Structure formats: C-alpha cells, structure tokens
Amino acid sequence: MKQQAKNGAYYVGLMSGTSVDGIDAALIKITDQHPGEAKGLHAAKPQIELLAFANTPFPEHVRAQIFELFDPQQATIDKVGAMNVWLGELYSQATHSIMKQAGLSSEQIAAVGSHGQTIYHAPEPNWIDGFNLHYTVQIGEGAVIANRTGIPCVSDFRVADMAAGGQGAPLVPFTEYLLFAEQNETLLLQNIGGIGNVTVLPAGGNLGEVFAFDTGPGNMIIDALAAELFPPLTMDAGGRLAASGAIIPELLSWMQLDDYYAMPLPKSTGRERFGKQYTARIVEMMDQHKWQKHDVLATATYATAWSIADSYERFVLPRYKAQRMLIGGGGSYNETLVKHITELLAPHGIETLTQEDIGGSSDAKEAVAFALLAYYTMQRLPNNMPSVTGASKPVVMGKISWPSPY
C-alpha cells in the first residue's frame, strides 16, 4: 500500500537529455490544495518542493552506444531493444539512489516520471496513405523501472501529443507555466541543453497564451566540435577554448543560413538536423580553408548565441516586450556563450540571468518537470500544451507501467 506524504505526494522525475551526459533525477514533494480545478484551465497551481537532486553520468561505453543509435543505419532493432532495457535498469538505479538521498522508501513514492532517451525525433508532417506518420522515439523501458523499484512508472510522454497532431515537444513549458508565471512581468525561460528551447510566459497570461519552441542547437554543435577537435574533451568547459578564438565570418554566415531558423512555429528539432552530419560538414570546411580549431569553436559558440537572439527577434519580441531572460541547462556554465547572448540581447533591453542567479538550479528543472507531468498523468489530467506543440486538443501524456501487486 502507498503511504501518502503528509499534505502532498512524493514523485521522482528522471531526465536524460539530448546531450547524453547522464541521468538527472529529482525527488519532489507536490502539494496541491485543489487538484480537481486543474482540469481544463489548470487554475490551481501545485506547490513544489525539491527534496533531492542528482546527476549520474553515463559510463563512457553506454554513452558511445547511445550515440550509435542516433544514426538510423546503425540503430538496428536488436541494439535499440537491448538499450531500451539497459536504460530501464540504469534509470531504476538512479531512482533507488535518489530515494536513498532523500531518506524515502518506494512505498512513499506515488510515481516515477521518466522522460527516457530520445534517439530519433521526426515531428514534421509525413503523410502516407492518408495517415500522418510523424514520430518520435524515446527509450528506457518503464516496465523495467516499475518492476525494479516497485513504483508505478509514467514514461513515453511525447507520443500522445503527436497522436493529436502536435510536435511532441517541448513539454517542459507546461510545468514552467505552473511554477514560474508572473502577473506583472513577461519572462523568457531559455534552456540550453543539447538543443536550445525557449518558453515565453506573458505577464498575467493564461495557459493558452504561453508559447515555446526549440531555438536550434544548444550545446550540441559545441560538444561535438570539442570532442572532434580537442579529444578527449566532451565539452568546452566554461567556454574557455572558444574564448581564445576569433570568429570566422564565412563559417558564421554558413551556420546562420540553416533553414531551421526561418521555419514558422510550432517547431522542434534535434540531432537529426544538428548532429553528426552537421559537424562533419564544418570539419570538412575547416580542412578545406585551413581554419584554426579554436576559431571554429569560437564561431560555433557565437552562432549558437546568435540563433537564440535571432529566434527572439523573429518570433518573440514582435509580440511581447520582455525584460528578463532566465537561462537554465548546462549551457549556462559556458561563460563565452552566455556573454554573447547577454551582449546580443542588451540592445533590446533584456537582462540575462541564470537559474543560479535567482537561487534556482540550471540542472534540476527538466527532471522536476517530468515528476510534475507524471503527477497529472496519474490523475488522468491533460498535461500537454496545444498552444506550444500545435496539438489539436489537450491530451493526457504518458504511459503507466504498474509494479507487481505481489
């Protein structure tokens, strides 16, 4: 029997993002005085308390095998099937260790919300025989997590939004609205993970007015170039390598011409566009033109910052005047990237802060979000945002795997 938390419920959230740096696990307490009112307009906002957070890096051989699965030629069904179970086991271990950290047992946890690992994301319409066969694939078997932990597991969130015609991403804006929306101030919440994505919370706006989209690459190109040009690095820590390079105008122009930036909303993207092939093209140009490797990294860092500022100029600032932008995700630790973003946005009167600047955590936000999304799933309440994803209607996202009752 589940033991209810006093005045609330405990949920675990698990996230392993497009950077493939590891598993983020959060354990939260949710207190919701009026959960029923959340139906429809989500008028009642639950209170969240973060009790524990941990990041467990993937072992290097697991990371390498996940990267293989991003390439459809290498992602054979046997490898995908085995990794689906393997990740289920690793997510279960992460769940056990976060419970231990918080001093709670599985009987006390209402559910685990697990995002899984995205290995392919193809949100654009794909009409075949009258059916829209767009799809997204997240792996990390929920049945394994439920079985190993004895806790119900909610997983595979994105597909329900896609079944309703949406992009299946981004999903975190729903929880950002619940946790951060302000009456008097329009907020821009920029996540810089593998991919960059922004959530716009208009001052005093309701759920239907929130909009969000992927701005383009986050750390994805920077990480790939750091690994390619400066092995054995996997990232440009602090943005220090980029800080010592100069911008290459020709490369910058090429990067700015990617079709993604002008695509209308709703939109989302991933490694299919800014992954291995994209970086290989940059390295090819570098060899042809004899560019210096620090300069290439400096240019990719600037182009990433530019893609964020450019997205605001195209899609956000014509609709809303914003004063503050809050950066979260691992990119907030790249000082060169943050410096460029700050400088590009200053002329618009936007102040740039990181989650840490306001006492938050750049790392925990997405894991917390999946715990909160699971809370809605378990109550059979809608948790997608049609205004963000383009879905035709609100749906309850997430598939529930139950542990054995014996």
Ligand X SMILES: Nc1ncnc2c1ncn2[C@@H]1O[C@H](COP(=O)(O)OP(=O)(O)OP(=O)(O)O)[C@@H](O)[C@H]1O
Ligand Y SMILES: CC(=O)N[C@H]1[C@@H]2OC[C@@H](O2)[C@@H](O)[C@@H]1O[C@H](C)C(=O)O
Pick the piece of the chain touching ligand Y (CB under 6 A) from 4-12, 191-199, 295-303, 356-364.
191-199
Which of ligand Y, ligand X, none sits in contact with 330, Cβ below 5 to 8 A by type? ligand X
Q: Who contacts 70 (Cβ-Cβ below 8 Å, separation ≥6)?
A: 119, 120, 271, 275, 276
Q: Does 224 bind ligand X (CB under 6 A)?
A: no
Pick the piece of the chain touching ligand X (CB under 6 A) from 252-260, 308-316, 329-337, 378-386.
329-337
Of the pair 141, 366, the CB lying nearest ligand X is at 366
List phi, psi (to 5°) of 173. Answer: -55, -30
Bind-site residues for ATP? 17-24
Q: Quote the least distance from Cβ 364 to ligand X, whole Å.
A: 10
> Which tokens sit at 71?
């390439």
Q: Quote the least distance from Cβ 165 to ligand X, whole Å.
A: 23
Cross-strand bridge partners of residue 77: none
Bind-site residues? 17-24
How far apart (Å, rounded) are the C-alpha atoms in residues 310 and 314?
Answer: 6
- State CA 311 to chain mean position distance: 17
Q: Does 201 bind ligand X (CB under 6 A)?
A: no
Contact letters for ligand Y, residues 255-294 (x by CB under 6 A): -------------x-x------------------------
Of the pair 88, 170, the CB lying nearest ligand X is at 170
Which of ligand X, ligand Y, none sits in contact with 214, Cβ below 5 to 8 A by type? ligand Y
How far apart (Å, rounded) are the C-alpha atoms in residues 200 and 153?
Answer: 30
How far apart (Å, rounded) are the C-alpha atoms in residues 329 and 198?
Answer: 11
Q: Which of residues 157-186 bind ligand X (CB under 6 A)?
A: none
For 337, counting Cβ atoms within 10 Å of its Cβ (0-12 exposed, 13-18 middle, 19+ buried), the class is buried
Pick the piece of the chain touching ligand Y (CB under 6 A) from 4-12, 190-198, 242-250, 313-321.
190-198
Structure-token match 């800080």, residue found? 243
- State CA 73 to chain mean position distance: 25
Q: Which of residues 133-152 bind ligand Y (CB under 6 A)?
A: 136
